[in-house]
Amino acid sequence: MLSLDDPKWRELQGGYRQPYDASKPLKRMAEGESVWDELWSELHHQGDVGLASYAAIPHLVRISAPMENRDWNLHALASCIEIERHRKGNPELPNWIAPSYKEAWEHLVKLALSDLSHGPDELTLRSALAVVALGRGNLKLGTMLCYIDQS
């Protein structure tokens, strides 16, 4: 896992294909601040994700894991990043991120299953189910669950 104090964060690109230092909002999140709007905006943009998006996943899981009531955004943003990671034009998962990213996803599936056992609201239900599907290698089902229209 890339340390939040590593200067490499300043070079990693987010969803806008520009450098985005995700370590700053992740540090604020660890202190209890809600930064989901910023992370959604910067780590994903119209189907584009970047290395900052991938590097943020282990920290999102680490920060959210001890929380009793996890925000649905954890599951939804992680699912969105994982889905878009497979699309043409987005960077491949580099070797230096891959181990912590994959370990985070294993833990994320466990968190999603735990969150599902607590009678979740609609958004948490859908996004946690997407995490389970994606974490078990079912990209099509995970994509459908993530992007299904509620109406």
Whole-number pLDDT of residue 150: 62
Q: Quote the pLDDT of residue 149.
A: 74
pLDDT of residue 151: 53
| Residue type at position 98 | A
The pLDDT tens digits of the residues spanning 45-68 come to 998 999 999 999 999 999 999 998
Residue type, 138: N
Q: How high is the pLDDT of residue 69?
A: 85
Q: What does the pLDDT read at residue 90?
A: 96
d(CA 138, CA 7): 35
Residue-level pLDDT at 68: 85
Distances (CA, A) of 60 to 24, 88, 149: 13, 25, 25
Pick out the chain residues at pLDDT < 50.
none
Entry pTM: 0.95
CB 133 within 8 A of CB 147: no
Which of 98, 116, 57, 148 has its CA nearest to residue 140? 148
